[in-house]
Structure 1
Amino acid sequence: MSASLFRPFHSSLLASSFWRRARSFSSSAGRRNRSEPDRYVIEGRPLDAVRGVAIQDYIFENLSKYEDRPLFTCGLTQRSYNGKMMNDMARGFGAALLHHGVKKGDIVCVLLPNLPEYPIVMLGIWLAGGIVSPVSSSSTPDELTRQCSITQSKIIVTMPFFVNLVKSVLPTVPSLKSVIDVDPFEDTVAPDTHSFFEMTKSSAAGVEFFTSSKVDTNNDIAILPFSSGTTGKPKAVMLTHTGLCSNALQYLQPGIGLRETPERYIGLLPFYHCFGFCALALMPMRTGSHVCTLPNFDPLSFVAAIKNHKPTVLNVVTPLVQFIVAFPELGKKEFESVHTVVSGAAPVGPLLTQALLKKADNDLFFQEGYGMTEATCFTHISRERWKNTKLGSIGCVIPGTKCKVVDIDTGEALPQGKAGELWIKGPQLMKGYYKNETATRDTITPDGWLKTGDVAKYDEDLCFYIVDRIKELIKVKGLQVSPSELEDLLRTHPDIADVAVVGVNHERFGEAPRAYVVKKNDSLTATKVHDFLDKKVAPHKKLAGGVEFIDAIPRAPSGKILRRVLLANYLSGKH
């Protein structure tokens, strides 16, 4: 197949002096800015942003090298796609979307589990000029309605399992006109839906796709995931083409993250989450790596995937590490192929990490990182030079990125060893929250610093540690849960007078929501509260931390809930 059919972007990045320059820097962890007033700003080594390159072209540039190499394989059915198949299907799907009336800037929601077709769907949407808005596969009707309403999506891509859920929200979202069904077996495409596989067969001949020359990469949105940010209900995060390409280049720098050689992965972390999306759906297409996808966590399927696929890199979150440590069928033999375990989304903890390293017993590198949806994916990651000697550290700031630790009260940058809020600046930062200027102003300063809401400090090696959280979000199995979202739902119960939700430690989930409820009616029970909320939220948002009834919710004079008081009472056993 001619490489020209892959349409490499207009200024070949690989051949440019920019790319050579980007790779020529040393692998230093970071440096202090010695100038005033930025003496406490920590900078990653210099690296230019990737501007003028659309994310689809960034991927297609390398995809032409992997025509015969399997890139995505379903761990359950073993259906598989190589580079040529992905190229042809993405172009066919993109052509079909254009024929369907998709225009530049149209938002397409994607409600799919981790399927090998997921990356093909993304590429096709980008080729048609659309914006990808990933939807959690555990969404309830209310959550799906809210996301589709905010984005005003015209199309949703899903699969037979979710078609009834999607159809239930159609009457409440007037903008949503079309449902595209990704049926892996091509025999149960639901009525009133369009077959994804039929669309991929559309001819791309003569079709004018949206490539770099037609994209304002600094401003045009490529992906619109939802995040709760530092506080509040989930908001749509505007990530640009420049942000995606820049973060990918940052992560590909020598000594930082991915190697530019093919790896083998287990694609279990959800693609709708920034960690899974970047590390397992996007970057493998750039590096020619092979991903064995799993649509959900099933112990036997996961173990079988490790034994059969023999991953070289394992991407994990805390609950998955707990499972690996506890499951007897996973041992030294199963980890023989693994050279690196990458952890993100929520802290694993040194004790659990040590238990994993002891079980693997093969000198693997446990690499911890930090990032957030508002920063595309990664901003910090641990380096192999300190291999497994700084457990609990999120590592150093990545190239092309700056950060500082700021006093929460004064806003002044703090020196080594002092804890404060972590602020970040770099080309991978979001453009802002979609149609939410107030939340954007609250999160990004006028001079471009992103307030993470996390309390951090750094040591003499410029390695960072997350020590607390300012923000009220609860991390359940690495997924964000907004207390205010749950409170708003619980307040609609006729027998609840007032309520507050906090995150408490949980043996299996890391953290879990716990509700403190003021009764309006004495007949209200904890069971009734659970039953009421369980019908309205995804599983990870349920009150696994428990329900407790109290006389009054502690509040500041401003009316703000004093969650720290509730948490302190919980930890002291007063409640």
Structure 2
Amino acid sequence: MTRKEHLRLLSNVAPNTTRVKDDPKLWVKSPFPDVPTVLGVEMHEMIFQQITKYGDLPAMTCGVSDKTFTFNEIYRQSRGLGAALIRAGFKRGDVVGLVLPNIPEFPIAVLGCWSAGLTVSCINPAYTEGEIKRQLASSDAKVAITIEHFLNAVRSAKSENPRLSSIIIIGDAQEGCHTFSEMAKSDTNGIIFSTGENSDTSETISLLPYSSGSDVIKLCVNIGTTGPPKGVLLSHSNITTNLTQFSCENVGPTKTYHDTGVQERLIGLLPFFHSYGMAAIVLAGLYQGAHSMSLPSFDPATFLKAIREHKPTCMHLVTPLISHMVNSDDYSSKELEHCHTIVGAAAPIGNVLINQILEKAGRYIFFAEGYGMTELSPLSHLLTPSSRNSKIGSCGTGVPSTWSKVIDLETGETLPQNTRGELLVKGPQVMKGYFRNEEATRNTIDSDGWLHTGDIAYYDEDGYFYIVDRLKELIKVKGFQVAPSELEDLLRKHEKVEDVAVIGVPNLVSGEAPRAYIVPKPGTNPSEEEINEYLKPLVASFKRLYGGIEFRKTIPKAPSGKILRRELSDEYRKQNE
């Protein structure tokens, strides 16, 4: 299927026989000076060069056990692990599956694998045993690194998969496993580590004919909130350049230690296996000399304790965490008194929640909403500090060396400002492709190098972009398009609504109709009639909840905070078969 055919399929329109008008004058370039694409340097080299400057400063502390690793310890142990992997006979490009929660050893595992020239496949630790097996098998992993909690699942995978030859355990020694702590002590003398000089950082294993790229170092799995998971191939060049794009002066909100003499303090609750947590906490945190506190999972008491004790200067959050803080009496200006910036990403947050968390702070805190995806390494847009909260609801402008444009959903024509369409992005952070999925790659990256994000967006007269919703999640009512996020943002303003999700359900009259799933605030008992009366003066008639309202205890969400509308749709379909 070609990209044009794919676009028509998504749009439900007849083929357009006229030539698609792509007007370069409507392309939007990042307002920042370009940065050179990083070539000839591998990711671990870039990190190692920085962290050796920070010496014995604390790099990462476990928020549960208080175990702390300094930058020197991360450097030494990463290289030790890399040396052990090389001595064990693993070769460049071999895949290592990481089945790990957020723990301080996570960056050691990643950097150690990269220093040995290996590819990392991060696996969601919340997966079932069957899902862990499938990802280890589909990624062709030869070795897995895990903790005791997931050991049975990994052992089961190894027994069924002859390619998976070794298990490395973090923690106490286990029968039939190599011990992570012993491997990290390995002698590095005489070891030839992987470097940009002894590898081709332009090589790719993508099935598409790229003329340049770089060794694939990270095989991410796109969770696939609107479809089945896909492996995303990212390279040294992708990730090192994206880190440079973020770290440029006046772009990212956090500062580097050697520029200020003060460590940023971060809370590492966002999953490290996810591109947002990996980039913002693991890689940028190490690169900038920040002190991060890792939390293996969300527990309200532990999260609150971490904030009170670690006193974060910058908090990386997603919608559910912001909602939790807004609706809990445990959080006040006291908990946010050391914080200069809140960074929100992974899913549209909405003005309501943003303003509520800023009001709770009781003083100026910059809210930096960003946009990206695993396929973009992961960052393409970011609200920068100079905007000073004047563009709340926007995901900002393109980061350096990034081009953006918005195209018509039906014709593919490039659209002007303040007109909604699909967002396309072009830049050095665009992935190499999907793992063993040539068709999906073709349908996502066109022949001119534009990545089709599948997100509906528009940009204003100042070049700031606003994400409206996912293309596949738009609800089509009598030919009109209804964005679930618009209704969700309005419903969150209701005094009895704590959380909400909206999906489209089949309707004989209108084709589809919006349906809301609402989590009431504790101690309240809203009625369907009450919610409908609240919405009536706020939205056009076709946006009303003719698909019904269901009150429930939780909303299904991915670890990134994205609403899993597909689960709600499947649930509704089964109930109405």
TM-score in terms of structure 1 length: 0.77
Q: Give runs of aligned pairs for residues 126-141 of structure 1, distance below 5 A.
A: 126-141=114-129
Aligned to 1:568: none
1:181 to 169, 176, 197: 169
Correspondence 1:200 to 2:184: yes
Q: CA deviation at 1:208?
A: 0.7
Letter in 2 for 1:39: K
Partner Cα distance (1:503, 1:122) in 2: 42
Check whether the contact 1:421–1:453 (CA below 8 A) recurs between aligned residues: yes
**Superposed structure 1 runs of 4+ greater than 6 Å apart:** 473-476, 539-542, 550-553
Partner Cα distance (2:328, 2:444) in 1: 41
Correspondence 1:259 to 2:230: no
Letter in 1 for 2:164: L
Q: Give runs of aligned pairs for residues 212-223 of structure 1, distance below 5 A.
A: 212-217=196-201, 218-223=213-218
Give the SS at the match of 2:228. Answer: coil
Check whether the contact 2:133–2:153 (CA below 8 A) recurs between aligned residues: no
- Which digits, 9 at most, give the CA deviation of each residue in 1:355-396, with x for residues without a partner? 111111121101100000000111011122322222211111
Aligned to 2:351: 350
Letter in 1 for 2:238: G
Aligned to 1:62: 50
Q: CA deviation at 1:260?
A: 2.3
Partner Cα distance (2:36, 2:234) in 1: 18
Correspondence 1:119 to 2:119: no
Aligned to 1:233: 228
- Which digits, 9 at most, give the CA deviation of each residue in 1:138-181, with x for residues without a partner? 11122212211221100010000100121222233221111111
Partner Cα distance (2:567, 2:515) in 1: 10
Give the SS at the match of 1:225. Answer: strand
Q: Give runs of aligned pairs for residues 450-529 of structure 1, distance below 5 A.
A: 450-472=451-473, 507=519
Q: Which runs of 5+ in 2 are unaligned?
A: 1-20, 202-212, 258-262, 475-483, 489-502, 504-511, 522-555, 557-561
Give the SS at the match of 2:461. Answer: coil
Partner Cα distance (2:189, 2:387) in 1: 52
Give the SS at the match of 1:164. Answer: helix
Letter in 2 for 1:155: V
Aligned to 1:43: 29
Check whether the contact 1:75–1:301 (CA below 8 A) recurs between aligned residues: yes
Q: 1:328 to 1:68 in 2, by over 3 A?
A: same
Partner Cα distance (1:507, 1:50) in 2: 46
- Which digits, 9 at most, give the CA deviation of each residue in 1:389-440, with x for residues without a partner? 2221111111110010011111111000111100000101100001111110
Check whether the contact 2:422–2:452 (CA below 8 A) recurs between aligned residues: yes
Query: How many residues in Structure 1 have an aligned counterpart in Structure 2?
Result: 466
Partner Cα distance (1:279, 1:387) in 2: 21
Q: CA deviation at 1:472?
A: 4.9
Aligned to 2:207: none
Partner Cα distance (1:364, 1:450) in 2: 33
Partner Cα distance (2:362, 2:569) in 1: 34
Q: 1:503 to 1:122 in 2, by over 3 A?
A: farther
Give the SS at the match of 2:436. Answer: coil
2:175 to 191, 203, 226: 191
Partner Cα distance (1:156, 1:253) in 2: 35
Correspondence 1:243 to 2:238: yes
Aligned to 1:336: 337
Q: 1:546 to 1:409 in 2, by over 3 A?
A: closer
- Which digits, 9 at most, give the CA deviation of each residue in 1:9-43, with x for residues without a partner? xxxxxxxxxxxxxxxxxxxxxxxxxx983001001
Partner Cα distance (2:367, 2:428) in 1: 27
Q: CA deviation at 1:94?
A: 0.6
Aligned to 1:32: none
Aligned to 1:16: none
Q: Give runs of aligned pairs for residues 65-84 of structure 1, distance below 5 A.
A: 65-84=53-72
Aligned to 2:386: 385
Q: 1:253 to 1:181 in 2, by over 3 A?
A: same
Partner Cα distance (2:516, 2:159) in 1: 38
Give the SS at the match of 1:101. Answer: coil
Correspondence 1:110 to 2:98: yes
Q: CA deviation at 1:468?
A: 2.4
Partner Cα distance (1:191, 1:65) in 2: 39
Letter in 1 for 2:240: C
Q: 1:192 to 1:109 in 2, by over 3 A?
A: same
2:193 to 209, 212, 225: 209
Q: 1:37 to 1:303 in 2, by over 3 A?
A: same
When the two chains are superposed, the root-mean-square deviation of aligned CA atoms in Å is 2.8
- Which digits, 9 at most, give the CA deviation of each residue in 1:213-235, with x for residues without a partner? 12222320111110156953111
Partner Cα distance (1:472, 1:366) in 2: 26
Q: Which runs of 5+ in 1 are unaligned?
A: 1-34, 477-482, 484-499, 510-532, 534-538, 554-575
Partner Cα distance (2:520, 2:145) in 1: 32
Give the SS at the match of 1:242. Answer: helix
